[in-house]
Homo-oligomer: A and B are copies of this chain.
């Protein structure tokens, strides 16, 4: 869709026309005058994420801003800037005793950058790429970069979870003081749950990070999220799997969400990620570099390397979101297909219609592990309140407390991956392992 070649890579529509008319190219230092305001900086390329109304320039401060092109704005070239580069100015860190943080890339918007020659979006992930893109990182850690996958996260499968767990295991065994996993945001919550379960006896923090807007966009959260992730991996006192993403739409803070408690709750906002039924584990303040810790998790024990790897996941697990009019045949189909587990996202306290009772009962009798969560997302299932819930309990459906449905699904895949015995998988599923189930609180206590 982009009309720009190399000179105006990624620009289209109004913005492209205005830049073309001004005869400027990417990398040029330009001045935009609009409504009495003056903006000066290097013209940046745009990715396919961008709109067609903004021009993005890098200010002398290093920050990118987007300037809306209007009919009355004036654009002129005030200097032929050197083309930006990602590969030279590696900072000297060897002389300083910074903790080693391994950054593992799996793909997604966070690791994309625009190639200035072709305009294509490509992964940017050598350590020097990272230092150049986010110079602040060199103050935070001695970074080792690894490219493991290059997948948009909708294509991540349980096999990728196994591979990521293995890679994290390896870098911890080889001496990392903290690990950052760059990941697309779409399924980052599923992967963070998977790594939470697959890495036992973790000695250091493992921080997943993504970005909702790519780094060439005016409002990108890529650099700030990465800073929060690397700082947390480097100095957090806890040895937990967590997700680092913007707290709000401003640039104040990065929240660290527990890996088993986080979900993406907005399609596009920078503050899309939320902790569910549980507070965040920490907050990284961007202005001061301070890490506020809210959890009493197991402490990091840096010299220890005896992390355990349990990275087998059973893929024959079906996730079913119940809805009015849902037909019972789908359960019998799953039985016939050889599924070993079903996670139901029921209504309210954990309900489905009575028409599903019999097929669910058949599934349980057939040795399928069936767990109940709630499509409400917030709150806890309680199948003792109404007859519907009690009937489901009586046929052997497992109430999954306040686990969010996505974590319950991953955990069932993991539990069934650890054992062939359904009773043992059931026991694992219902035991709190990484903060995914909290102690029951009597919700109807008067305040």
Measured CB to CB, the residues of A under 8 A from B are 48-51, 53-54, 65-66, 68, 152-158, 160-161, 184-187, 190-191, 213, 217-219, 249, 264-269, 272, 313, 315, 317-319, 321-327, 329-330, 333, 337, 345-354, 374-382, 385-388, 406, 409, 413, 442-447
Contacts and interface: CB of A to CB of B under 8 A. Distances in A.
A155 B354 contact: yes
A11 to B, nearest CB: 14
A267 B444 contact: no
B447 A264 contact: no
A276 to B, nearest CB: 11
A267 B378 contact: yes
Contacts of A345: 321
Contact of A152 (B185, B386, B442): B386
Contact of A325 (B48, B219, B317): B317
Contacts of A322: 154
Contacts of A154: 322, 346-348, 351-354, 388
A316 B326 CA distance: 9
A319 B327 contact: no
A378 B353 CA distance: 27
Nearest to A319: B323
Contact of A351 (B186, B217, B323, B330): B186
B446 A218 contact: yes
Nearest to A273: B376
A313 to B, nearest CB: 8
Contacts of A213: 444
Interface centre among A190, A264, A313, A323 (most CB of B within 10 A): A323
A284 B152 CA distance: 46
B351 A443 contact: no
Given A267-B380, A376-B266, A444 B323 contact: no
A31 B160 CA distance: 64
A323 B446 contact: no
B267 A379 contact: yes
Contacts of A378: 265-267, 269, 272
Contact of A264 (B152, B191, B347, B350): B347
A333 B331 CA distance: 12
Most buried by B among A213, A346, A349: A349
Contacts of A353: 154-155, 157
A194 to B, nearest CB: 8
Nearest to A217: B444
10 residue pairs, one from A and one from B, having the closest CB atoms: A267-B379, A186-B347, A186-B348, A154-B351, A266-B378, A266-B379, A321-B321, A158-B325, A315-B325, A268-B443
Given A157-B325, A351-B154, A409-B323, A442 B382 contact: no
A264 B158 contact: no
A379 B347 contact: no
B446 A219 contact: yes
A246 to B, nearest CB: 14
Contacts of A381: 267
Given A325-B413, A347-B154, A348-B267, A66 B376 contact: no
Given A264-B347, A348-B264, A379-B266, A158 B446 contact: no
B157 A376 contact: no
Contacts of A68: 445-446
A333 B337 CA distance: 11
Contact of A385 (B49, B54, B329): B49
A313 B382 CA distance: 31
A223 to B, nearest CB: 16
Contact of A65 (B249, B268, B377, B446): B446
A85 B318 CA distance: 50
